[in-house]
Amino acid sequence: MLEENIDYYINEDGNFVFTREYHLKRGYCCKNKCLHCPWGYGKQGSKGGENGTDDENENS
């Protein structure tokens, strides 16, 4: 069961945003450029993801 403010929070636009802790529990990168991706996918200069930044993307 997901716990609010541990696994996710609801942002000011009403979107559910998964936390770093949730992603680590899940155990793999979904490659959706999540805001709190512990693997850095989609963040510029990251080893594990494609180049480019997308800090506004709050999927997953």
**Per-residue tokens: 40:** 């850095």
pLDDT range class, residue 20, cuts 50, 70, 90 = very high
Residue ranges per domain, the chain? 1-60
CA dist., res. 8 & res. 19, Å (int): 5
The reported pTM is 0.68
Kindly tell me the number of DSSP H helices and DSSP E strands found in the chain.
1, 2
Three-state DSSP state, 16: strand
pLDDT for 25-50, tens place per residue?
Answer: 999 999 999 999 999 998 877 555 44
| Res. 57: pLDDT tops 80 | no
| Res. 16: pLDDT tops 60 | yes
Please state the separation of Cα 48 from the chain's center in Å: 14
Q: What percent of the chain has pLDDT over 90?
A: 68
